[in-house]
Homo-oligomer: A and B are copies of this chain.
């Protein structure tokens, strides 16, 4: 079987870290100078093993194995969240690169190959999975024209032009070329680490529903307005959010999560009764039936709040992402490889976060491999995984790819 080079895997990850170091993490926003350096680094590494390479018109990096036999597409992303962790993205890129090298170097796999893709902006600085959607042909030019950096408002077109990618075509992959798409990623939660497991085999990427709940009251003087006649939009929001907190646990599945990530109370002055308030509620679960149940529950709470007064409450769904089911063929290969290297120390699990594999799964069989996150920390510069787990993850990933290629050979 193809062998990985553990030192090279760690060295590659540290090379990418050093491009954009921030404390023990990195700051490598999409199309920042550091991000572009990392794309060029990947292109050079792929070129070094004889892959045909390109960085396309949306800054996706591709490396195509010049072989006639079975091929796998593997990859992830290279940009980071602002001031975030060093492995979120690069881990999947380095595993894919290592798989391409190991397969390339193994004479038994002479006609097989691993194509590598780095999908631009998985972290959503400019939009939602723009790079992978472009790679599967789901992104039209109008959507790309409209994309702007959420941090500084800069147009993605301008950022691409500044990086020298303007006018380049955007490559769309041919699903028929591949057995499927494989992506490795840090878990970003603590399911693996608390159970002392090494490998997660992703079965589903959760569906996401997001709601804006709006409360219209009446702004008035906080000293002179009796409690009985107030129409306090902030108080109405607190009551509804507390009811969500109280009722959701009984109807959620064990892995369901829900979050009120944003609360806005207007005008926000200590002596003024809020006249307007908004909250964003997000629910995630692999099972649409669970999400339907929670949606019905919060819709009823909103209706009850409206009936009971004193504020007008409304709910609007602002996002709906369907759960993405991973392919048994690929899951089996990851599970078999994990059982071979870390017997009993793996589990099937859903992904609570969205990933490029979610986009690819709509066009070809896809699955993901997770490695443990220390403390379950994610989107923070303290995010980390032990070297031992990083290396074992690479070993299982490359073995899984080899098993798939061998079976198709």
Q: Taking the nearest CB of chain B, how far is it from the CB of A225, in angstroms?
A: 6
14 contacts between A and B (CB under 8 A): A188-B225, A189-B226, A221-B378, A223-B351, A223-B352, A224-B353, A226-B376, A227-B258, A229-B376, A261-B265, A261-B271, A261-B273, A262-B270, A263-B268
Which residue of B265, B280, B378 contacts A225 across the interface (Cβ within 8 Å)?
B378
Is B235 in contact with A245, judged by CB distance below 8 angstroms? yes
Is A262 in contact with B269, judged by CB distance below 8 angstroms? yes
Output the residue of A190, A222, A269, A282 with the most chain B CB within 10 A.
A222
Which residue of B190, B235, B241, B255 contacts A260 across the interface (Cβ within 8 Å)?
B235
Q: Taking the nearest CB of chain B, how far is it from the CB of A263, in angstroms?
A: 5
A257 interface contact, C-beta 8 A: yes
CA distance A280 to B273 in the complex (A): 12
A229-286 contacts to B, CB under 8 A, are 229, 232, 234-235, 238-239, 241-242, 245, 249, 252, 255-265, 268-274, 280, 282, 284
A331-377 contacts to B, CB under 8 A, are 351-354, 373, 376-377
Is B223 in contact with A257, judged by CB distance below 8 angstroms? yes
Which residue of B187, B223, B232, B239 contacts A224 across the interface (Cβ within 8 Å)?
B187
List of 10 A-B pairs having minimum Cβ-Cβ separation, nearest first: A189-B224, A242-B242, A188-B224, A223-B352, A222-B259, A221-B378, A224-B352, A223-B353, A238-B241, A261-B270
Number of copies: 2
Binding site for B on A (CB under 8 A): 187-191, 206, 208, 210, 219-227, 229, 232, 234-235, 238-239, 241-242, 245, 249, 252, 255-265, 268-274, 280, 282, 284, 319, 351-354, 373, 376-380
CA distance A137 to B256 in the complex (A): 62
Q: Taking the nearest CB of chain B, how far is it from the CB of A291, in angstroms?
A: 13
Is B260 in contact with A234, judged by CB distance below 8 angstroms? yes
Output the residue of A187, A206, A225 with the most chain B CB within 10 A.
A225
Q: Taking the nearest CB of chain B, how far is it from the CB of A134, in angstroms?
A: 22
CA distance A235 to B284 in the complex (A): 17
CA distance A255 to B351 in the complex (A): 52
Which residue of B224, B242, B255, B259 contacts A273 across the interface (Cβ within 8 Å)?
B259
CA distance A263 to B208 in the complex (A): 26
Q: Taking the nearest CB of chain B, how far is it from the CB of A256, in angstroms?
A: 8
CA distance A354 to B221 in the complex (A): 11
Query: What are the residues of chain B within 8 A of A229 when measuring CB–CB?
Result: 190, 376
Is B206 in contact with A234, judged by CB distance below 8 angstroms? no
Closest to A226 in B: B189
Is A265 in contact with B263, judged by CB distance below 8 angstroms? yes
CA distance A245 to B187 in the complex (A): 39
Is A223 in contact with B354, judged by CB distance below 8 angstroms? yes
Q: Taking the nearest CB of chain B, how far is it from the CB of A380, in angstroms?
A: 7
Which residue of B206, B223, B272 contacts A223 across the interface (Cβ within 8 Å)?
B206
Closest to A191 in B: B226
CA distance A270 to B150 in the complex (A): 13
Q: Taking the nearest CB of chain B, how far is it from the CB of A84, in angstroms?
A: 10
Known contacts A238-B238, A242-B242; A225/B262 CB under 8 A: no
Closest to A318 in B: B270
